[in-house]
């Protein structure tokens, strides 16, 4: 059986499972559509939250960024994991106790203001839409390779699948679908990692294999450091970035995690306040299985791929075009070339493909001496690395098929959660909460499904024109959530900031962060504009992916200043804030 057929079997079986679960768990009421009837077990919810959380950025893109940058990109791991600790301790139980369906509804009620609710909806839609671009990008990458179609066709297929199970299933269907998707993605991520760790180090545990010796008796990381520095790149294990930016970026990811609406919504689905805490704890356990493996996947993939480019060692000749065309070990390059995500050109006509850092002065001198004409890998999309890794390592065909299903599960699970958050904001907060308060439950449910269908179309369009790699795009979304949503939730629970302060803070945090991002990208959502870059920061060393932390500080500062200059909150709201922090039970604060 050929590889394409095996890929179809794995992907087709997983899709049939997801759609079957969605039909079985179809939402029949707004309570089931928004909060799965508030009857999800903490372990089940923890697993669904992990799948909702571990997106295309985690599965497809994160290890690729770590592989090509090294130690510096461990900030993704620290920031995203630390955010769940903040969520479990500071937000989840209190928001569950408040007893509402959406983040925007909490903000509107707590700050006794339709305007605050509307601004929260705007913040939510902007952050979630930016986030979903990364997921649709990952869908296109995975489908493009494993179904052997172009990136655009792959993305359109993925959009149809999301539509099939998310629009009809709602939160109830999405929850149980995400449990299945977690099982698929964690197996797809860890099984190839175990194979490759055994190949390189003889250790079956990838996280331990990262610090083990390779088959030639040298430490794996020391070997990798030597290879990449010989090619003119920075040492893999060294910190090369600035400390201030690293701290701000990690903080931005942490508070952005705690402010993401589609993750917070998961804690509205459990029966009790204690279950919200337990859900966060179980989610951390399930997430750790992948996040402890990701650094090993990145390092081992970089070692394997560099060894293929310089198969006789970095002091010998680069791989020849004849080898690429005739050696089965290089078949993966031809298949990925078809997706448009990998490309090369023999610029100097020597029959070989040189791969090196042509920006390094020492390598420039060597290139001149050797007659090279620059790095001849003209296109190497970092998002392909995890998906291509099993092929590079020549793993069995069924492992490659499993990775195809896993990559799609990761992207689709998070895309469904984000689209549900967007549709809930439109139907429940905008339609029912602002425009048509007397809408029937049936009408509200229909508007939620229509809103999700429209959101899928918009997300697909934006996924065709992403501003950067999947993990980079997601980092921007975290910055937007960090600067707009997290501060107002914290102030809503732990302070007596009034409605005017909350509105002013959200707008200040959101607008300053958007402005900082746009000044690096051009117009964010217009096709064919320049790709996003973090180069040449506008404010000292602060990159735009790190600006969310600064935006959050601006949000807090403006909110407290405006609140201190305007009328205090009403007594009944002050009593409500106090009751939310007293452990009396889920929904006790508002009798929901």
* CATH code, domain carrying 138: 1.20.1730.10
**Is 157 domain-assigned?**
yes
Task: Determine contact, residues 475/79, Cβ cutoff 8 Å.
Answer: no
Task: Determine contact, residues 434/118, Cβ cutoff 8 Å.
Answer: yes
- Residue from 448, 445, 425, 429 nearest 437 by CA: 429
pLDDT one digit per residue (tens) for the chain, 592 residues: 777 888 888 888 887 887 788 777 666 666 666 656 677 888 988 888 888 777 767 777 788 878 888 877 778 888 888 887 888 778 878 888 777 667 888 898 899 999 999 999 899 888 888 777 777 777 777 777 677 777 778 788 878 877 776 666 566 677 788 888 888 889 999 999 999 999 999 999 999 999 999 877 889 999 999 888 888 888 888 876 678 888 888 999 899 888 888 788 777 788 887 788 888 888 888 988 988 998 999 899 888 888 888 875 545 578 888 888 888 888 888 888 877 778 899 998 889 898 888 888 888 888 888 888 888 888 887 778 888 888 888 888 898 888 888 877 877 777 777 777 788 778 777 777 677 778 887 787 788 778 878 888 887 887 776 655 445 567 778 888 899 999 999 999 999 999 999 999 999 999 998 888 777 554 444 444 445 555 556 666 788 778 899 999 999 999 999 999 999 999 988 888 888 776 555 455 555 5
CA 499 – CA 511 distance, rounded (Å): 18
What confidence score (pLDDT) does residue 524 get? 42
What confidence score (pLDDT) does residue 473 get? 66
**Is 370 domain-assigned?**
no
CA 60 – CA 41 distance, rounded (Å): 29
Distance between alpha carbon 216 and the CA centroid of its chain, in Å?
A: 36
**Is 524 domain-assigned?**
yes
- Residue from 300, 64, 291, 262 nearest 186 by CA: 291
Task: Determine contact, residues 407/384, Cβ cutoff 8 Å.
Answer: no
**Is 470 domain-assigned?**
yes
Q: Cα torsion for 364, 368, 369, 372, to the nearest 10°?
A: 100
What confidence score (pLDDT) does residue 167 get? 67
Task: Determine contact, residues 78/570, Cβ cutoff 8 Å.
Answer: no
Strand, helix or coil for residue 430: helix
What confidence score (pLDDT) does residue 487 get? 95
For residue 506, the surrounding DSSP H or E stretch is helix 499-521
Q: In degrees rounded to 5, what are phi and psi of residue 379?
A: -150, 120
**Is 363 domain-assigned?**
no
**Is 342 domain-assigned?**
no
**Count of structural domains, the chain:** 1
**Is 51 domain-assigned?**
yes
**Chain segment 28-43, per-residue pLDDT in tens:** 666 666 656 677 888 9
- Token pair, residue 78, equals 């620290």
**Is 312 domain-assigned?**
no
CA 58 – CA 387 distance, rounded (Å): 12
What confidence score (pLDDT) does residue 518 get? 72
What confidence score (pLDDT) does residue 590 get? 54
- Residue from 395, 276, 337 nearest 151 by CA: 337
What confidence score (pLDDT) does residue 201 get? 93
pTM of the model: 0.80
What confidence score (pLDDT) does residue 26 get? 67
> With the C-alpha atoms ordered 58, 458, 260, 472, is the resulting torsion angle positive or negative?
positive
Strand, helix or coil for residue 379: strand
What confidence score (pLDDT) does residue 522 get? 43
The H-assigned helical ranges of 351-440 are: 361-370, 385-392, 397-424
Helix, strand counts (H, E) of the chain: 26, 2
**Chain segment 174-219, per-residue pLDDT in tens:** 778 888 888 888 999 999 999 999 999 999 999 999 999 987 788 9
Task: Give the length of the chain.
Answer: 592
CA 285 – CA 443 distance, rounded (Å): 39
Give the range of the structural domain holding residue 457, as residue numbers without chain letter. Answer: 3-301+392-580
Instruction: Report how far apart, in Å, the C-alpha atoms of 55 and of each of 52, 422, 454, 539 are.
Output: 7, 17, 21, 30
């Amino acid at each position: 059986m050929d590889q394409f057929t095996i890929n179809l079997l794995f992907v087709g079986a997983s899709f049939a499972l997801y759609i079957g679960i969605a039909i079985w768990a179809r939402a029949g009421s707004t309570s089931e559509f928004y909060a799965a009837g508030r009857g999800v077990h903490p372990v089940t919810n923890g697993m669904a939250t992990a799948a909702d959380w571990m997106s295309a950025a985690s599965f497809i893109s994160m290890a690729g960024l770590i592989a090509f940058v090294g130690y510096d990109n461990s900030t993704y791991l620290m920031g995203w994991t630390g955010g769940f600790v903040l969520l479990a301790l500071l937000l989840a139980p209190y928001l569950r106790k408040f007893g509402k369906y959406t983040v925007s509804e909490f903000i509107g009620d707590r700050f006794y203001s339709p305007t605050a609710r509307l601004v929260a909806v705007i913040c939510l839609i902007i952050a979630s839409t930016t986030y979903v671009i990364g997921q649709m990008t990952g869908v296109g990458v995975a489908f493009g390779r494993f179904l052997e179609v172009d990136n655009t066709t792959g993305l359109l297929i993925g959009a149809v699948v999301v539509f099939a199970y998310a629009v009809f299933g709602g939160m109830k269907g999405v929850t149980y679908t995400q449990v299945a998707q977690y099982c698929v993605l964690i197996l797809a991520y860890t099984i190839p990692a175990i194979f490759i760790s055994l190949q390189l180090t003889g250790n079956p545990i990838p996280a331990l294999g990262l610090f083990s010796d390779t088959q030639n008796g040298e430490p794996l990381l020391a070997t990798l450091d030597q290879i990449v520095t010989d090619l003119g790149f920075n040492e893999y294990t060294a910190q090369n970035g600035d400390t201030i930016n690293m701290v701000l970026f990690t903080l931005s990811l942490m508070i952005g995690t705690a402010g993401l609406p589609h993750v917070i919504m998961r804690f509205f689905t459990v029966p009790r306040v204690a279950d919200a805490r337990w859900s966060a704890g179980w989610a951390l356990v399930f997430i750790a299985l992948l996040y402890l493996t990701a650094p090993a996947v990145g390092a081992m993939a970089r070692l394997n791929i560099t060894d293929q480019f310089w198969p006789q060692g970095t002091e010998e000749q680069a791989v020849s075009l004849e080898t690429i065309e005739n050696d089965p070990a290089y078949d993966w390059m031809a298949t990925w070339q078809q997706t448009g995500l990998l490309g090369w050109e023999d610029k100097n006509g020597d029959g070989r493909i040189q791969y090196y850092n042509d920006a390094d002065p020492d390598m420039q001198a060597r290139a001149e001496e050797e007659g090279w004409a620059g790095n001849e890998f003209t296109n190497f999309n970092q998002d392909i690395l995890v998906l291509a890794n099993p092929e590079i390592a020549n793993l069995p065909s069924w492992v490659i098929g499993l990775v195809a299903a896993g990559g799609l599960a990761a992207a689709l699970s998070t895309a469904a959660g984000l689209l549900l958050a967007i549709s809930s904001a439109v139907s429940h907060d905008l339609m029912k909460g602002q425009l048509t308060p007397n809408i029937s439950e049936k009408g509200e449910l229909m508007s939620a499904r229509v809103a999700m269908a429209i959101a899928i179309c918009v997300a697909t369009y934006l996924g065709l024109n992403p501003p950067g790699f999947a993990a980079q795009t997601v980092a921007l979304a975290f910055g937007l959530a960090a600067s707009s949503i997290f501060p107002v939730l914290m102030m809503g629970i732990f302070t007596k900031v009034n409605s005017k302060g909350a509105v002013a803070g959200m707008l200040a945090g959101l607008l300053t962060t958007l402005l900082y991002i746009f000044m690096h990208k051009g117009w964010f959502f217009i096709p064919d504009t320049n790709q996003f870059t973090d180069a040449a920061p506008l404010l000292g060393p602060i990159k735009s992916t790190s600006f969310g932390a600064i935006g959050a500080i601006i949000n807090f500062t403006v909110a407290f200043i405006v609140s201190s200059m305007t009328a205090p909150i009403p007594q009944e709201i002050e009593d409500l804030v106090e009751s939310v922090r007293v452990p009396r039970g889920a929904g006790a604060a508002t009798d929901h």
